[in-house]
Structure 1
Amino acid sequence: MKKQLYLLILLASLFSACDPVPATFNFETKNFGPNAVMIIQSPENGETLKVENITNANQTFKINIPVKGYAILKTEDGDHKGEYYFYLDKGSFKGVLDGKNINSYPLKSVPNKEGEQFIDFYRLKDNMSKNLLDSLDIVESEFDQATQSNIMEKAKNADRWREKKILFQLDIIKAFAKKYPRSAHTLFLLEQLGRADSEPKNYLSIFNSLDKEIQESKKGKSLLEEIKQANQMMAGSKMPNIEGENPDGKKFDLSILKRVNLVICWTSYSGKSRKNNQVLVKLYEKYKNKDVEFIGVSFDKKRDWWVNVIKDDHLTWPQYSDLQGAKSPNAKNLSNYNVTYFFLVDKNGTVLTNNDLSLDFVDSEISKNLAGR
């Protein structure tokens, strides 16, 4: 009888150990519309962990989680959307979701120190960015009320302030990293901001302020590699060598470079690349006699596809490929695996533009660099 009792106790403890302890959320929700929802997602893979209708009342719900990690709390209320990072773990989360104040961080009480650091990050953000957000609200309002005669001016002004807001995030992350040099949250926040390719110097400055253990973590090494990659493609840097050969079997040589050169990273099987080719053919006709060269670098693997598209799309500028696809050194060194990708270099192979150019700006950037050199 005692053996059976012990066995039951053992089985009960095993089942209890396997049952994940939930994360419990208690929110006061207010000032949302009738169809508003809150969503909790994983930023790693986009998996939706919970969706709840917002009731403008006290709401409680649970998430059974086998492991802890980063998560995003989102609110959607028509065109009004909020997004907040937090650290998901077992235990109790308490907060306030206010539809009239979506800039305010909703979590007020969390079960761990990792979560408390996020509360502090958003507190820093509120204190540092109030004036900027007020200015952005003003220019957004002016843009909404723009007339046909001034809409372009108001749109450009709004874009400038939106860019300021994005760049200001780096100042906030920098302040957080200074306060918490041993926190891996800085790596996560930099990764989510996604500006390593355009702000590598700022990223490196923040990275170097972190504790050595954080720098040498798996995520730290990955971010550092991304920063180094971006740094070598900044204006003033020397373009990495283009590997491979042209369709006639000749290797790339710097001697083909002209005063201004557009490097085009593409693939024959990309629908976007094929559409871009239609625009590029016309641009090449405009500039080919003005000391400008286009250079195509394909990340293809099949020679027939590559050569046939060059012919079919009437691409008359120099083309190179090592036919290694995504494993090509070109893919890593020139565009950090992005397709399509554009940048300008001068006759010495010195990069003229910081990172990827939008096709919409290729024409104006070529003209600007021709005029300034």
Structure 2
Amino acid sequence: MKKYLCIIALSACLFTACDPKPAVFELETKNFGPNAVVSIQSSENNETLKAENITNGNQTFKINIPKKGYAILKTQDNENKEEFYFYLDKGSYKGILDGAKSNTYPFTAVPTQQGEEFINFYKLKKNMSKNLFDSLAIAEHEFDIATRSNIMEKAKKVDIWREKKHQSELEEIKAFAKKYPTSEATIFLLNRFGRADSETKKYLSIFKSLDQDVQESKMGKKLFAEIMQANQMMAGNKMPNIEGETPDGKKFDLSILKRVNLVICWVSYSGKSRKNNKVLVDLYEKYRHQNVEFIGVSYDKNKDSWEKIIKADKLIWPQYSDLLGAKSPNAKNLSNYNATYFFLVDKNGIVLSNNDLTLDFVDSELSKYLAGRK
């Protein structure tokens, strides 16, 4: 009998432990159009966990087996799209989803401390960015109604305010990190912001302001590695060594560098790279006799294909590859796995320019550094 009761008790414990309690969303939804949709997405793999038509009223929906972790609530109402970060876990989420107040965080009550941290973040964000959002909205409206005579002026104004918005977002994360140094949400927010390669110093400063436990978390260690990776490619640092060989078996040597050098990270099977090659060939002819060198670094795996495109596209500047594809240390160290990617170095391999250096600006950047301007 005792054995039987033990089995019942054990079964009950196991059943309770495995009880898939849902995440329940109880939202007041209003001011959305007839085809508006709300969805919940995992931030880890962008999997859509739930999607519902917005009904404008007291709306309830569930995720029956929520996977604990960072997630995104998204709304789409015709062309209007918004997204908000939160922490998904079992329990009750309450709030207001208002299509007329798209910048207002929807959750007012959440089941976990991690969720409360996002409520605090969005409160801080609202206080810091209200005037900026208003100015951006005005600029975007003026651009929408611009005439042919002033459209370029209005587009430039929108770009300025959008960049100010990006910079404000980083300042908001910085302020949140200072106020809540024990929160891993800062790591998540920095990852989502996605500018470790162009805002490296600011990223490192924010990261160092966090508690040691946060820095040494799994997410923290991964972000720190990305920051350090980006840091070594910042202007003023010496670029990592280029691995691999030329098609005829010569290894990279700094002695080939000239006064200004354009490093081109590319792959032979990319249509974009092939289009870029046409422009680069003309640029090389323009600069090759002005103490400038181009250096190709390919992330190819097939040597025959790589050599064939070099010949077909008439790429006569030095070309290197270790033929390891995405596993190449070049891919990690030089361009953070981006191809195509451009940066400039001097005769000693010191990085001159790499932040947002697109093919459109290569010509002007080469001229600038040849003229001795920084």
CA–CA distance in 2 between the matches of 1:123 and 1:313? Answer: 54
Which is further off, 134-143 or 100-109? 134-143
Assess if the C-alpha contact under 8 Å between 2:23 and 2:66 holds in 1.
Answer: no
Cα distance change, pair 66–139 in 1 and its aligned pair in 2 (3 A): closer
Please report the TM-score for the alignment, with normalisation by the length of structure 2: 0.94
Q: Which letter maps to 2:218? A: K
Cα displacement (A) at 1:16: 4.2
Partner AA of 1:171 in structure 2: E
8 A Cα contact 1:65 1:89, kept in partner = no
Please report how far the alpha carbon of residue 129 of structure 1 lies from its aligned counterpart in structure 2 after TM superposition: 0.7
Superposition map of 1:164-175 within 5 A: 164-175=164-175
User: CA offset at residue 330 of structure 1?
Assistant: 1.5
Alpha carbons 2:31, 2:56 under 8 Å: kept: yes
Q: Which moved more, 1:110-119 or 1:255-264?
A: 255-264
Asked if the contact 2:66–2:88 (Cα under 8 Å) also holds between the matched residues in 1, the reply is no
Structure 1 contact 233–355 (Cα < 8 Å) conserved: no
Residues 285-300 of structure 1 aligned to structure 2 (within 5 Å): 285-300=285-300
Query: Any idea what the Cα deviations from partners look like across 1:44-79, whole Å, max 9, x if unmatched?
Result: 101000001001111001112253111100000011
**DSSP 3-state at the match of 1:297:** strand
Contact 1:28/1:96 (8 A) holds in 2: yes
**Contact 2:41 2:50 (C-alpha < 8 Å) held by counterparts:** yes
What are the ranges of 5 or more consecutive residues in structure 2 without an aligned counterpart?
A: none
Which residue pairs with 2:117 in the alignment?
117
Shift in Å at residue 171 of structure 1?
0.8
Q: Which amino acid aligns with 1:31?
A: N
Task: Say whether 1:269 aligns with 2:269.
Answer: yes
Aligned residues: 373
The change in CA–CA distance for 1:356 and 1:102 in structure 2 (over 3 A counts) is same
**Inter-partner Cα distance in structure 1 for 2:7 and 2:231:** 62
Q: CA RMSD in A?
A: 1.9
Q: Give the aligned partner of residue 351 of structure 1.
A: 351
SS at match of 2:317: coil
List structure 1 segments (4+ residues) > 4 angstroms apart after TM superposition: 1-13
Match of 2:247 in 1: 247
Once the two structures are TM-superposed, the CA of residue 113 in structure 1 deviates from its matched residue by 1.1
Q: Do 1:94 and 1:107's aligned partners in 2 also have CA atoms closer than 8 Å?
A: yes
Amino acid at match of 2:335: S
Distance 1:309 1:18 in 2: 57
Which residue of the partner structure matches residue 86 of structure 2?
Answer: 86
CA distance in 2, matches of 1:319, 1:68: 47
Range with greater deviation from structure 2 (157-166 or 6-15): 6-15
| 8 Å Cα contact 1:341/1:356 also seen in 2 | no
Partner Cα distance (2:191, 2:251) in 1: 37
CA distance 1:66–1:123, change in 2 (3 Å): closer
1:97 is displaced (CA, Å) by 0.6
Establish whether residue 218 from structure 1 lines up as the match of residue 218 from structure 2.
yes
Q: Deviations over 1:281-326 (max 9, x none)?
A: 2222232233322110112222222211111111111111222222
Residue 6 of structure 1 and its aligned partner are, at CA, apart by 7.2
- State the match for 1:208 in structure 2: 208
Which residue of structure 1 lines up, in the alignment, with residue 41 of structure 2?
A: 41
After alignment, is 84-93 or 133-142 more displaced? 133-142
Q: Find the counterpart in structure 2 of residue 322 from structure 1.
A: 322
Q: TM-score, normalised by structure 1?
A: 0.94
Q: Structure 1 residues 305, 11: CA separation in 2 closer, same or farther (over 3 Å shift)?
A: same
Q: Aligned partner of 2:202: which letter?
A: N
Q: Which consecutive residues of structure 1, in runs of 5 or more, have no partner in the other structure?
A: none
Give a deviation string over 1:164-221, Cα, whole Å, max 9, x none: 1112111111111111111111100000000100001000000000111111112111
1:23·1:89 contact (CA, 8 Å) conserved in 2?
Answer: yes
Question: Quick check: 1:232 aligned with 2:232?
Answer: yes
Spell out the pairing of 1:30-109 with structure 2 (5 A cutoff): 30-109=30-109
Report matched runs for 1:183-194 at 5 Å: 183-194=183-194
Q: Does the 8 A contact of 2:261 with 2:347 survive in 1?
A: yes
Counterpart for residue 278 of structure 2: 278
Query: Relative to 1, partners in 2 of residues 1:330 and 1:192: Cα closer, same or farther, differing over 3 Å?
Result: same
Q: Secondary structure of the equivalent of 2:352? A: coil
Q: Distance in 2 between matches of 1:17 and 1:238?
A: 54
